[in-house]
A and B are shown apart, each in its own frame.
Chain A
Amino acid sequence: MISAGCARYGRREGLSAREIFDEALDELFSNCPKLSRADVGALFLGQAFESFEHQANTSAGIANNYGLSGIPTVRLDSVSSSGGSALRAGYLAVVSGEFDVVLCGGVEKMTSFDTPTALEIISMAADRPFEQWNGATLTALNALAASEHMRRFGTTEEQLALVSVKNHENALDNPKAYFRKKVTLEEVLASRKVCTPLKLLDCSPICDGASCIALCRPDLATKYMDTAIDIISSAEASDCDFVFREDLIGFNATRRAAKKALSRAGVEVREVDFAEVHDAFTINEIIAYEDLGLCEQGAGGKLIESGETKIGGSIPVNPSGGLKAKGHPVGSSGIGQAYEVFIQFTGRAAPSRKVKDARLALTHSMGGAGVTAQVHIFKARA
């Protein structure tokens, strides 16, 4: 990874998806003056939903709009892990030898409708005939997973809320974050019910946003950048939809992808200096701790309580503020995580949220209730 850019997440009034993505590209090229548009061989764009702007084939429009003229492009959808899919596709494109330099981007414009309509569109993440049709939204599926986690392991609503508290605190000094104010445990617990046990402050926000990274062949990296960041492994996996499963928790897609990524990198998960994980709902972060192997299954609640996953702890998780506080413009999230790796490794993070001496990081993106997942491991070159 030789550069990255990110448009501020939030309600970006007056801007459409392509304009928000332009912001991310502006920063990406400004962060890497030696990289020119003519160097870029392809664009892989994560964007989940066509319905927000009634627009398909966005990647070609977006690439040519910016003067990345005539390059191969494709839009990838795996709902919340669309960005992760874009990262994986870009990685494969470079390692295949077909491309020297590619861009992996993600974008979502979600504020073009009122909330009930936006929720209707987002509910496409669940299986149409057997989940959506019978009253399940993605939030409801995660709520069922949370219920089961609480019943089986004694996880509490307070432990779920601690994820939200931590991530809001992390986002305080993140200029790209949507929410930059603390929330207390009491505020999270008192927030209105969405799908029990999940409350408003357990759920990531609907918002606009975009991000983009540039990947190149490892031997070309120093042509563009002084300090190279290598992607030392990349993996992805899927699972059937929620209603078809024997066991509601954990999420096999994450487990499969994590196992492959860690073994290919030759890394134990506890060796990473920090992780950016998928926390669309607070329960997702707790289950991710377990599925990634940071702790035993069922011990995720205890792990958040311990403080070890705070910045300054033994394994910081979501120093960016995560999807919860930085925001979850769906297609962008998986790339936004890689952007955070770039910011942390190149010393650009504000002192209050800087992960000291960070040189090894893991990103985890997930689509639906564990239907798709990608895990990537980044290492700063000596």
Chain B
Amino acid sequence: MIAMISSEPIQEKLTVESFYQGGKNGKLLGLECIAGHVTVPPRRSCLVCNSLELKVVELSGRATIVATTEVYSKSKEFPIEAPYLLALAKLEEGGSLLGVVKKTQGDTSKDVCTESKVIVKFEIVDPEGGETSSTKYLTERGRPRIFFERV
């Protein structure tokens, strides 16, 4: 029996489409490079060391908020009513995401701040489209949006 060892570097790709498809299926996907760095959002090269040798990994969804802003003036097409709380959260494994923080009853924006622990959630807000949605782009139809839920 001959053991075949592949000498080809692993260069898996995670497209925007596959990332959001994963989200629809309840999975937060990312990329891990040969040195163990995690890249999210997905892109072709490792965001820490530029490596192209990446493999697709599933992440926990646990994240910590790094910065927030209360958005009063939004893009017309975004389907969430303003004001909403936008946050940048750093994922436990590495990488970051931007998303809207879900309001829990009784929350004030003071309750959600830097260092708050959250879980990443994907939700389709505007499946059929509407006047203020961006489903004019066929490539985005049915795509979920990213939210953060406090733990």
Q: At the interface, yes or no: B52 with Cβ under 8 Å from chain A?
A: no
How many of chain A's residues have a CB under 8 angstroms from any CB in B?
Answer: 35
Contact B145 A246 (CB under 8 A): no
Chain B nearest CB, measured from A134 CB (Å): 5
With a 10 A CB-CB cut-off, give which of A117, A133, A151, A243 has the most chain B CB atoms: A133
Interface: A129 (CB within 8 A): yes
B97 within 8 A of A: yes
- Segment at the A interface, from B4-12, B53-61, B67-75: B67-75
Name the A residues within 8 Å of B72 (CB-CB).
Answer: 192-196
Are A130 and B86 also in contact (CB < 8 A) when A195-B70, A195-B71, A196-B69 are? no
Q: Of all chain A residues, which has the CB nearest B48? A: A246
Within the complex, what minimum Cβ distance (angstroms) separates B3 from chain A? 39
* Interchain CB contact under 8 A, B70 and A193: yes
A162 to B129, CA, bound (A): 43
Interface locus among A135-143, A170-178, A215-223, A348-356:
A135-143
Asked whether any CB of chain B lies closer than 8 Å to the CB of A248, the reply is: yes
Report chain B residues within 8 Å CB of A198.
Answer: 69
Give the complex CA separation of A130 and B143 in angstroms: 12
Closest to B70 in A: A196
Q: Are B98 and A134 in contact (CB under 8 A)?
A: yes
Q: B96 within 8 Å of A by Cβ?
A: yes
Distance to closest chain A CB from B141 (angstroms): 12
Contacts of B78 in A (CB 8 A): 132, 135
Bound together, the chains give a CA A148 to CA B73 distance in angstroms of 20
A120, A139, A148, A248: which contacts B77 (Cβ < 8 A)? A120
A129 touching B41 in the complex, CB below 8 Å, given contacts A134-B99, A136-B86, A243-B88 = yes
Judge if B103 is at the interface, Cβ distance under 8 Å: no
**Cα distance A262–B113 when bound, in Å?**
39
Alpha-carbon distance between A143 and B83 when the two chains are bound, in angstroms: 14
A244 interfacial contact with B, CB 8 Å: yes
Q: Is the CB of B116 closer than 8 A to any CB of chain A?
A: no
B145–A116 touching, CB < 8 Å: no
Closest to A139 in B: B73
Asked if A123 is at the interface of the complex by the 8 Å CB criterion, the answer is yes
Q: Does B80 contact A (CB under 8 A)?
A: yes
Asked whether any CB of chain A lies closer than 8 Å to the CB of B35, the reply is no
**When chains A and B are docked, how far (Å) is the Cα of A192 from the Cα of B73?**
10
Partner of B75, one of A119, A129, A130, A151: A119
**Which chain B residues in 89-131 approach chain A with CB under 8 Å?**
96-100, 114
B98 adjacent to A195 (CB under 8 Å): no
B66 contacts A130, C-beta separation under 8 Å: no
Q: Which residues of B contact A148 (CB under 8 A)?
A: 66-67
Q: Give the residues in chain A near B98, CB-CB below 8 Å.
A: 130-131, 134-136, 243
B47 within 8 A of A: yes
Q: Select one of B74, B96, B140 contacting A135, CB under 8 A.
A: B74
| Given the contacts A129-B41, A151-B114, A194-B72, A134 and B146 also touching, CB distance less than 8 Å | yes
**Nearest CB on A from B120, distance (A):** 11
Contact at A130–B114, with CB atoms within 8 Å?
Answer: no
Q: What's the nearest-Cβ distance from chain A to residue B93, in Å?
A: 14
**Whose C-beta in chain A lies nearest to the C-beta of B83?**
A193
Residue-wise, chain A 231-252 has the 8 Å CB interface mask toward B (1 for contact) of: 0000000001001111010000
Residues from chain A with Cβ under 8 Å of B73 in the complex: 119, 137, 139, 194-195
B47 adjacent to A240 (CB under 8 Å): yes
A151 engages B67 (CB within 8 Å) = yes
A144 at the interface (CB under 8 A from B): yes
Which A residues touch B80, using CB under 8 A?
A: 135
B145 touching A135, Cβ below 8 Å = yes
Q: How far is the CB of A343 from chain B (nearest CB, A)?
A: 33
A147 at the B interface (CB under 8 A): yes
A34 CA / B128 CA spacing, docked (Å): 62
Chain B residues contacting A193 (CB-CB under 8 Å) are: 70, 72, 83
Closest CB pairs A-B (n = 9):
A143-B69, A130-B41, A123-B75, A116-B76, A120-B76, A196-B70, A144-B67, A129-B16, A134-B146
4 new A-B contacts at CB < 8 Å, known A135-B86, A196-B69: A135-B71, A148-B66, A198-B69, A248-B88
The 10 listed contacts between A and B (C-beta, < 8 Å) are: A123-B75, A133-B146, A134-B145, A136-B86, A137-B71, A140-B69, A144-B88, A147-B114, A151-B114, A243-B88
